[in-house]
Every structure is written in structure tokens, then in C-alpha cells.
Amino acid sequence: MIAAAPPVLDQGCASAPVLRERGQREVFCGLTGIVWLHRKMPDAFFLVVGSRTCAHLLQSAAGVMIFAEPRFATAIIEERDLAGLADANEELDRVVRRLLARRPEIRTLFLVGSCPSEVIKLDLARAAQRLAGAFLPDVRIVNYSGSGIETTFTQGEDACLASLVPFMPEPAAGAEPELLIVGALPDIVEDQLVRLVRDLGITRVSCLPARQSRDLPAVGPNTRFLLAQPFLGDTAQALEDRGAVHLSAPFPFGAEGTTDWLHAAARAFGVDEMHFRATVAPGRERAKRALEHSRAQLEGKSIFFLPDSQLELPLARFLHRELGMVPVEVGTPYLHRAHMAAELAQLPEATVISEGQDVDRQLDRVRAAKPDITVCGLGLANPLEAEGFTTKWAIELVFSPIHGFDQAGDLAELFARPIRRRDVLRV
Amino acid sequence: MQLSVWTYEGPPHIGAMRVATGMRDVHYLLHAPQGDTYADLLFTMIERRGKRPPVTYTTFQARDLGKDTAELFQSAARDAVARFKPAAMLVGASCTAELIQDDPAGMAQAMRLDIPVIPLELPSYSRKENWGASETFYQIVRALAVGDSSRPAPCQAGSPRPKANLLGPSALGFRHRDDIVEIAKILAALGVEINVTAPLGASAADIARIGEADFNIVLYPEIADTAARWLERNFRQPFTRTTPIGHGATIDFIHEVAKLAGVDPSPALDIAEARMPWWSRSVDSTYLTGKRVFIFGDATHAIAAARVARDELGFVVCGLGCYNREFARDLRAAAADHGVEPLITDDHLEVEEAIAAAHPELVLGTQMERHIAKRLSIPCAVISAPVHVQDFPARHSPQMGFEGANVLFDSWVHPLVMGLEEHLLTMFRDDFEFHDGAGASHLHGSAPKAVPLPDQATGRGGSEPLGEPATAAAASPPPTPSLAAGQDGELLERTLWTAEAEAELKKIPFFVRGKARRNTERYAEERGLASISLDTLYDAKAHYAR
């Protein structure tokens, strides 16, 4: 049913030149990661140390969620905090004490750095240590940076998870190999994937982040880890520094991607090939059936990705290989060559891979290419629609369940719907 | 440091963006780190604009710091001018760029661009969005109108008709688009010509001829006040002080404008669409009398709303506040007029406490108060920014002028009617026609499910998924029939009532029964009465009668 993959004579885009651009970037900063991370770790609180702009960003990104007693806030730096650093530290301690007194159920407090706090060199790492003395063992205080000068959108999750790695315990001596799935996934997706892994016979499996922030899995030389998300370069590095071994795989989008991803684990844990095929077959078939619904709308359509989340390459691969779409340009804010090797190899050679952005020039390329659908942020989506382009706003791809077999159809539908809407409207 | 989840206002550069985005050929070069472009989506999503805001962000990153942010700034400036060909350019810094040592104004001026460059100093760590908008508009007017001010006096004589500028409407302004239409109608009736509307819809050239008007109409003081004062000093243009929100204020505004223009106000006074006064006098509105209303928003909208609430709907203002300190003095004066404590704060938790303490029957506020009111189950209407996407409607819905007053009446009374409706449904829940199993009368499909009225006292925790009303019933005290067997705590209180008085109480219409019970019990308690008889009931009624 699914179109046969183009013969793997060449290496797709594996060694294609990458267009590197620098200029205005129309992207979110890493603080935005808080909006989904705080839902994944219900016992953690995220305190941004930043400006009114940071608070305004979180408010705009979190939309209506901000009212449901959220577990994030901003300590807004004011003029008097800028007068002297010692003062700022005292102020921060005061805010943290007040916060933790009001929210005694919090087990982990993330002090999240922002552009202003980084530029004035407010040492949040030291602040975390200082405060840890006062609050451990009840509250663990962790620091990472979600600033725009250092992180783009989903890289905030990378920085957050990397900051947790030093707190992961050592496994017991002589422990069996264990599989670690890395990257925040919606609970239902996580459950599906863990179930499949267990069905393969890999019973020792855990996830980072864990649903309870203090329930961190162990890590050591016996750990094999699979990345569920493509934006976890620093976290992977930190895990490797603790001796863990990365299992190279495409990312689990679509029937193929999910199969290949699970296959990487199966091979590493010596799962019998027949058993592997038997285990994944039902889910894989369901996924393929679900994809058929969108295929008619998407096959042969061209797609242009503007950089946003680093999900662009795996999604382009999925749309190309499993739905027959034609990627014109795939932009990514940051390209991790090693983690993306399997994805790049499966993209058609003619695809332009771009890293970074000069948004006005990139929009010129969109206009010249006239793609059937353009994946972009909300700041660009309506203006492009007004110019007659069909768009898919990218942020939804980070908030919706899209990984694994049983979400493959939903993922395709996210791209098919704007095209269908364009076709049904008579206004 | 201030601990904050919700902010009523963004940082000041957002205010500058609102002015730039409202205008036609002004570009804003913002020295800012990667990520600050999030603000674009306020305009493209909330206001649903089909164009990107005219803002170029320099997008510096950590690796640029300390070496070439200045170079980055200048190349961004060159590219922006070449690509967008603006008539004037604003340059400024966002909060992070304010901390590094680059000087956007100096750098831009050193480039000797052949368009006017207007530097903005917006202190991000002490000021906010409205201030930023006001300062930006002032700087634009100052820079562009000054260039053309060689003439000695306002050119009042040269104009065949009196001319006025409309000052204050901007991008992302609450109902600014439609307010302009209403004000234009009034001015047309008065024979006053609109010289320039700014910033919304104005070009740099329009600003240059702003001095040609005879006077200014300040629609939103939060944005236009500073510029209007400067124009008054430099171009001898007087400006209006009345915000035409509400029927009475609109009439005052017409008189004020007519006086400044030297024309007869009457053609504008009897615009036929002023339905609000009759709607409010009609008997259906009698139940609005004395409703306690809590008002919070920006100072201009809050003060105007308080007047409408008291004088035009017959409400009682039980709380009045604003989040913008710049207009705290005006708000204090208004609060004194209404006999309430002014609430000037940008901390939504304080607002929530004040609302809970005031026990209002209606809340008029921002998006935030809408959520607070929802949590407290109080009807609410939105009167001020910040607002969400639904308050940038497709339909015409001004706040100003006579049509604005009509809109206010509808949008404030609507949640109350809904509130009464909901109240009635709850009260009648146990009625045979209205119990939960009966379904809605107009939906035959879901009509009687042949479920007898469940015994709610024991219905708690049933495995059947209960509809929301049923769940609410399960959580509320058991209905009247089980009162005799009442819960321990209540038993004592109930015994105070004689059977005769209790029976009489039940004859009182349900919507005042609770109040009658409370008043009678308080009356009895204050007098140390051992039981409540029929006489006590009516004595209390006489005592509390007004």
C-alpha cells in the first residue's frame, strides 16, 4: 500500500550541502518548553528568572492554560535588581522561599535562565546550590537556561533534561542492561511505546523525564537509550558521558519510522527477528490503514518547512516516504548530523536542507517555490494565508500526540486538514 | 523581583509595536535576542492581521555577544530599509538589548539613512506596554510633525470646515477599529472634518500634517495623552477630555467637540440609533436596579464603565480599579465619586481577593477577570484589554458613541440574563418538568429517559456518568423534603423555626427565599429569640424593609 521507498542507491540527503543562514529568526526561545514540560512533571515548578517580556511570552504561549493554577511563573527582574548583583541574589532567594512556602507539594524547582539573567550573569547554578542547602531533601533545585540567545523552542526541553542527568542514580552493580526512552511524550503515547517494547521482551525499560520528577531512572554503562525526540543533543551527550549507549534510529513517526525505531531497540537487546515482526505487525498494519485516509489529499503535494522545532526532518521523511509528499525545503533551527543521519538518508536528493534562518529571504524562497503547504509559526501563518499560501502552524506538532503507530493517522491528518479546508471553502 | 504568572501589560516595546503596526509605512528595528518574535503572533493571531507586523528583529545570539551585535544591528537596518522602503524608521532595544552596551539610536544615526530615524528609549525594567505605546507615538509626532512646523500658528483660518485629529487608536487596541467608525459618524453629523487618525491607519506623511487640524480628539489617553499635550503646546491645538463611552459621556463628548469646533451640537445629539436609554428604562430592566458590580481594567475603560453602570443601568459600583499606574490619579477620583476604595494594582491575585471580598453580582473587567469570575461563578463581561481573540470580533462592536452604548447594554446585561436563567434552572431542578432526567424540552431525542428523580442524598459516587447538573445536585445540600431528617449541624438551626413559620417561608418566591431565611435568622439571633414564629418572620421583614 505504501509506495516503495526509492531505491537506496544514493544516500538521499545524507551528504547534501546544507544551506546555513543567519539573519532574523522567527522562532520561539527555549522558555516555551516549560508549557509542555510542566504538564509532564506534575510535581515540578518552573521559575523563570527574567523580564516582563519572558512573562508575557509564557502567557502568550500558554494561552488559556495559565489560569489552571499553573506550575510555572516568572520572577520579573526590576530596575532595583539591576543595581547590584548581591541584591538580585537576595531577591531571588526571597521569591523562592515565598513560592515554596505557598506550594508545599512541589518536589523539584527548576530555576530557568533567560536572556536578561544570562546577560547580567546572574549565577543561577550557584543560586540553585545555595538554595538546595535550605530545601533538600524536600525540594530539589535544578538550573538550566531557556534563553533565546542560547536555545530555540524545543531546545528548552533538551536543556531541562540535560540538567536532570547528573541527578540520575547509578545502577546497582552488575545490573542487567536497561532501555531508556528519552524525551517528553504525551502519557498515552509513552504508554503505547513502553507496552510495545515490553511485548518485544525488553522488560527493563524506563523514561526520561519520569512522570514524577524525583523518580529519575538510573543511568550507567548498561543503559541503552533511544531518543523519542530529535532535539535532544545535549541530553544525549550528558547520558553518553555517564556511559550510556545511544541506539541510532530514525524517529518514531509513521508506520516505518516507528518500526525502525523499535527495531533499533530489538537489535540491541537481541530480540528474535521473527518475534519482532510478529509483535510490531498489528500496530504497523493499523498505522498503514490509518494513513490511507490522508494519502489521496497529500500524495504528490509539495511541502516547505520553516525552522521551528527540529522535528522538521523526521516529519518531512515521514510525509515523503509514507504519504508521497515532495519536500521542497526543510528548514531546521539546528542540525545534529549524527542524530539525523537516518532521516537525511531517506529524503529525496533534490530537497534543500537549511539550518538557521534569514526569515525574509526564506519567505522569498517560499514565494518562488509556491509549495502546496508551508509549515511555519503562528507569526507567519496568517500573513502567508493572506498571500494565498496554505499553511500548517508548526507549534501544534509539538503539543499533539503524533509519535508511534496509533498516532500515524492523526499526524497525517494534521497536514491533510488545511489542504482539505482550502478546497471546501467557498468564501 | 516580582513573582508573576499573569501580566496585564507586556513590556514597553510591545507598545511600540502596537503603534508601528497600526501605521502604514513606518518600520521598527528592534535590537532583540532570538525569541522576541513571539510578539508577532499577538497581531497575526489575536487581532488576526493578514500581514506581518513591520518589525525587524536583529536576533542576536549568545555567540554574538561582546563582538558584533553592533554590526548585526547595522546590517539589519540596511536590509530592512532596502526591503521595506519605509518612510520613517523607529529604532530601539528590547529588555535584553537594553542590558548590553550597544546604542541603537547612535548606531542608526551614524548610518545616515535617508529617511527619518526615530530613536526610542523604552525602559523595560520600570515601564510597561501602555507607556511604551504612548512614548512611541509622542516621539513619532514630535519627530515628524516638527519638521513641518515653520508656520507660525495653526492654520485654522485656511480650512473651510473645522478639522480634528483622532488620536490614540492603535493595533491590538480593544475595539479601536469600530470606535473610530462611531466617532466619525458623530463628526460627520457635526460637520467636522477628520484631518488625521493616528496611529491606526496613518502614514508618516499624515503625521507630518497633523498640525493642520484645529483641535485634537483624544480617544485613548493611555496612548495619546502625551502626544496631545505636546501638540497643545506646540501647535496650539486644544484636545478633548471626555471619553465617549456610554450614552451620557457621548452626549458630553458631542458638546465638548461642538464647542471646540464652534458648531451647533444638535445634529449629532439625535442620532436615531441611541436605543440604550429606552432599553434601560423599559420594565424588563427593573431587576438590574442595585446590582452590585465590580469594575477593573485600564483606567479609561474602567472609569467610563463605572459611570455607565451607575447612571445608565442603575447598578451599584462595589469595586473600581485599574492596572495602569499612569492614570491612578483619575481612577482615585472616580472611586471617590462612587464611594469605593480604589484598587490600583497589576497583581491579579490582589484583584481576585478584592472581587471575592466585594461579593459582586457582575464583574466588568479584562480577560483575567473573566477567568476569576468564572472560578467564582459570577457573571462577567469584558470591557478592557488585555483580551483574547474572541474580543476582536468580525462584527461591528464599538464601545464608543451611541452604537457603543447599545453594545455595552447588550454585552453587560447578557451574562446577567444568562445568570438568571441558570439560577431558575437550578431552582426548578427538582420540579417534575425540569429534573435532570427530563432533558431539554426542545430536544425530543434526549427527552424523558424514564429515570425517576434520583435520591440525590444517596446518589453520590454512583457509577453512572452523571451530567453536570446532576453532579452539582449531588454535591449540594439535600433538597427540602429531607430537611426534617437534616444533617446534624443544620438540625439545631432548623428547630428555631416553628412549623407554621417554616410553611410560610416556603410560600415566598424561591429567588428571595434564601435572603428571607437569612434575614429572619439574623433578626432572631440579634434579639435572642428562642424560636421563629410567624410574627418573627414578618417582624424581620418589616425591619429589613427599605
- Count the residues in chain A: 427
DSSP of A58-71: HHHHHGGGGGS--S
Cα distance from B404 to chain A (closest Cα, Å)?
Answer: 28
Given a cut of 50, whether residue B30 has pLDDT beyond it is: yes
- Are A56 and B11 a contacting pair at CB < 8 A? yes
Residue-range domains of chain B with CATH: 12-128 (3.40.50.1980), 163-270 (3.40.50.1980), 276-413 (3.40.50.1980), 477-546 (1.10.8.550)
pLDDT digits (tens, 9 = 90+) for B76-121: 999 999 999 999 999 999 999 999 878 888 888 888 899 999 999 9
pLDDT of residue A88: 84
Interface test with A, best of B96, B129, B370, B376 (most A CBs within 10 A): B96
- Count the residues in chain B: 546
Cβ proximity of B187 and B254 under 8 Å: no
Instruction: Give strand ranges (E) for B407-447.
Output: none
End-to-end CA distance of chain B: 50
Task: Report A:268-307 residues touching B (Cβ under 8 A).
Answer: none
pLDDT digits (tens, 9 = 90+) for B124-175: 999 999 999 999 999 999 999 964 444 444 444 455 789 999 999 999 999 9
Q: Are strands B2-4 and A72-76 parallel, antiparallel or unpaired?
A: antiparallel
Q: Residue B455 catalytic?
A: no
Task: Report B:8-27 residues touching A (Cβ under 8 A).
Answer: 9-11, 13-14
pLDDT digits (tens, 9 = 90+) for B484-541: 333 444 444 555 889 888 888 887 766 677 778 888 888 888 888 888 998 888 888 8
Q: Are strands A391-393 and A326-332 parallel, antiparallel or unpaired?
A: unpaired
End-to-end CA distance of chain A: 36
CB burial string A193-214: b at 16+ within 10 A, e below: bbebbebbebebbbbbbeeebe
Which CATH code of 3.10.20.30, 3.40.50.1980, 3.60.70.12, 1.10.3720.10 fits the domain covering A18-23+291-425? 3.40.50.1980
Report the range of poorest mean pLDDT among B207-211, B224-228, B418-422, B472-476: B472-476
A216 touches chain B (CB under 8 A): no
Given a cut of 80, whether residue B239 has pLDDT beyond it is: yes
pLDDT of residue B133: 98
CA distance B123 to A346: 50
pLDDT of residue A65: 65
A29 touches chain B (CB under 8 A): yes
Report DSSP state, residue A242. Answer: T
Cβ proximity of A368 and A296 under 8 Å: no
Whether the predicted interface score ipTM is above 0.90: yes
Cβ proximity of B328 and B322 under 8 Å: yes
Catalytic residue among B284, B431, B455, B535: B284
What parts of chain A have a pLDDT lower than 70? 1-10, 64-68, 85-86
Q: What are the grid coordinates assigned to B282, written together? A: 423599559
pLDDT digits (tens, 9 = 90+) for B299-318: 999 999 999 999 999 999 99
pLDDT of residue B92: 95
The residue among B436, B409, B435 whose CA lies nearest residue B313 is B409
Q: What CATH topology corresponds to A30-151? A: Rossmann fold (3.40.50)
Nearest to A61 among B38, B48, B60 (CB): B38
Q: What are the grid coordinates assigned to A138, written together? A: 524536600
B82 touches chain A (CB under 8 A): no
Q: What CATH topology corresponds to A178-274? A: Rossmann fold (3.40.50)
DSSP of A194-221: HHHHHHTT---EEEES-SSTT-PPP-ST
- Are A95 and B125 a contacting pair at CB < 8 A? no
Nearest to A25 among B3, B34, B99 (CB): B34
| β-sheet with B362-365: strand ranges across | B342-344, B316-322, B292-297, B362-365, B380-382
Q: Which residue of B has its CA nearest to A59?
A: B6
Count of other CB atoms within 10 angstroms of residue B115? 15
Count of other CB atoms within 10 angstroms of residue A74? 31
The CATH 3.40.50.1980 domain(s) of chain A lie at 18-23+291-425, 30-151, 178-274
Prior bond of B386 cis (ω within 30°): yes
